[in-house]
Structure 1
Amino acid sequence: MTALPQERRVVTAIPGPKSQELQARRTAAVASGVGSVLPVFTTRAGGGIIEDVDGNRLIDFGSGIAVTSVGSSAEAVVRRASAQLQDFTHTCFMVTPYEGYVEVCELLAELTPGDHAKKSALFNSGAEAVENAVKIARAYTKRQAVVVFDHGYHGRTNLTMGMTAKNMPYKNGFGPFAPEIYRVPVAYGYRWPTGPDNAGAEASAQAIDMINKQVGAENVAAIIIEPVLGEGGFIEPAKGFLPAIAQFAKDNGIVFVADEIQSGFCRTGQWFASEDEGIVPDLITTAKGIAGGLPLAAVTGRAEIMDAPHSGGLGGTYGGNPVACAAALGAIETMKELDLNAKAKRIEEVMKARLSSMQEKFDIIGDIRGRGAMIAIELVQSGTKDPNPAATAALAKACHAEGVLVLTCGTYGNVLRFLPPLVIGEDLLTEGLDILEQAFAGV
């Protein structure tokens, strides 16, 4: 898969002296609003390893936030994108089109849930995909209201900031936000007042009641939800919740949109997380894992809904860039060839077994959840369910110091999330978990 040796190596403090030099240059030149989880400067990455300028090799449990599922230098991605670079970098699909864009749309029709006629439009980023899904739903329904959920994350543009639940760091000080966005409860099993078994039915009933009373179902263009909520803490809505919401949408002529930007493309052990409860979304938004690290996003959905906007109403200069489309074809080829859905399921098996044994030893692990290679642990104060963001930050820092890149998330900042590349070797996965366990013992 990659020429980069697949072994952890820590040869300096992390970050090392060369990274610190670059960090000083960065501080002078890059806006301070752009943060970084770990200021080590990368020179190479591939498989399950990131190598920095100081020669340290880190085990990658982040995949660039669920982007490099096929690894950071997958052969088919490099081969196809390189060939496309030789031919042409850009014409703008809206000026003179090219086959790669069409091929990506054909594959999206094949891979996404449901056997109805589907069409796609390609964009640059997840936020752009979500924003365009709203445009398409409004054009189709001739309605305006958009319903989103507690703990949801949809992006950083003005509209998608308004749709995102978490204030810091995404929304604070950036308002006013777009109107006609309404937020309703989600079935967060671990924190549901009457327990996880009741969460699906109770939360869906509450959400539907709020929509009917406060918005009016007849005013709603779209209901948008992540089938596994990402930044909000890798929350899997309790069983029954998503089918109830999808059915309510169907009964009321509302476009049901699955935001699969973080959960799509084999990440959860299925092509799309919606498949878990047999959900067939009207529209599905994708980005992140679609193109092996090149910027590409899509809205895919029922042909009649996708065709609602007037000609010229959708697009963007770089949307469906030819090099990014070539990379997507390489990424999807890799997913199929290596059966990355099976790999994701195996990662879940290994991780959940280890994390469960850690939970028996360390009572600050309140919950273990997620599917495939989208796994998280929620950390709490001992003996309570009170969020423990301090322990979460300390654990991440301890892992980083030992050469394991982990990410945090969650509305309360108390969730450690694990998003290893689906091609990671099992030895690296196990070693990373060993280091996590040592970090727990230290914290």
Structure 2
Amino acid sequence: MTPKKFKTYQRPVRQLAIAIAVASLAACGGGGGGGTGLAGLGASPTGTLSGVAVDGYLQGATVFLDLNSNGLQDTGEPSSLTNTTGQYVLDYSQLSTPIAGLQIVVTGGIDTDTGNTFTGRLTARASKAAQGQVVTPLTSLVDAMVAQGLAADVTAAQTMVATALGLTVADLSKDPVAALASTPAIYTQAVALQRAVQLLAGVNANSGESSHKAQERMMKAIAKVVKSQTSRVDVSQLVAALQVTNTSGASQLAAAVQAAVTTALNNGGHDSAKAALKGLDQVRVRMENDHDDHDKNHDDDMEQAAAKIDDERGLSTSRPFTNLVKDESNKDEIDAVKNLFQPGNVVAQPVNTNGRLLASNCFQCHGTGGMGGFESIRGDAGEVRDYLTKPASSDIMAAHAQGYTSAQLDAIIAYLQQ
């Protein structure tokens, strides 16, 4: 069945009450504070399920209850959009069956920690509680175990995931951002897992397979590795045990994310962690692009991908991205990357602005972290033509490219390559 994009569960009066409730959540501070960060949610209206979606907080993401377990948002399935702190409220009052055990799916929106479009897919199993339902990369891993029958129930799956990653079962139900001060490992493990899954999905997608389906498949593969664990590991070790393409690169990336973000949190707090993630997300995208280009010199090597970004940006002397991904990455190197994303570091626009308006669509996904230009994609702009030969459903770039005429694509490429 074809997904129904941006459909909502239409019950006007009820939706108004829920909208007011969501606004109230934001006013209460929502994800702030200690513990799980969900204390601000308050009591949910009867027949609603509330919670928070977190990679960083996901703003404007679609959340829905998958009633028929097909992984798609279908007509009649309760859904809503997250607010600025990732909070959502689902109205299931019209359902005649219990929601406990149903899959909650989160897609789209903006990762507020990086400012990037969230291209991932998060899931969790609805609990009997009407509030405090967290959806994160870690709950996605738990859900992948349940979906494959690797655990008897959610509690058993949580125990296996928590034991493998050195966390507690309670940690898996916490808001990772709100728990940064007390248990930063929840956040560092979660963001490392998400980036590894996205990289693996990008380079292991089958022909015609959607990115979300590929991510689901990679998460299920990692869940099988968790099942076989007898001692504590980290995300990079789980990934390294997979039998798929580019496990080496994904393992390197997961280790770098966890190390750099931990260093950033210890020395500069959440803002530094955001900067580290922005930089590492660019490295991940470069690794994906190198694989798509069949660049065998870079497919599995994270440091070479980072070096390529430094060279493209004219940073061959300071090499901030290369330093960021090294094991010995420290505060000074993270600060160097952070400085690249400071407001005010605007690159002068070229004289010829033909095609700029059309190219603004590229900027929405390939935004340059506030630097003001398109430096990160100038050299590869011509490759957009390659996506005209691929099915629109196979890749988000194919879907975008096929929305333009050949003349419009030529204008975009000419602008970006100045």
Point out the structure with the larger strand share: 1
Structure 2-normalised TM-score? 0.32
Structure 1-normalised TM-score? 0.31
Point out the structure with the larger helix share: 2
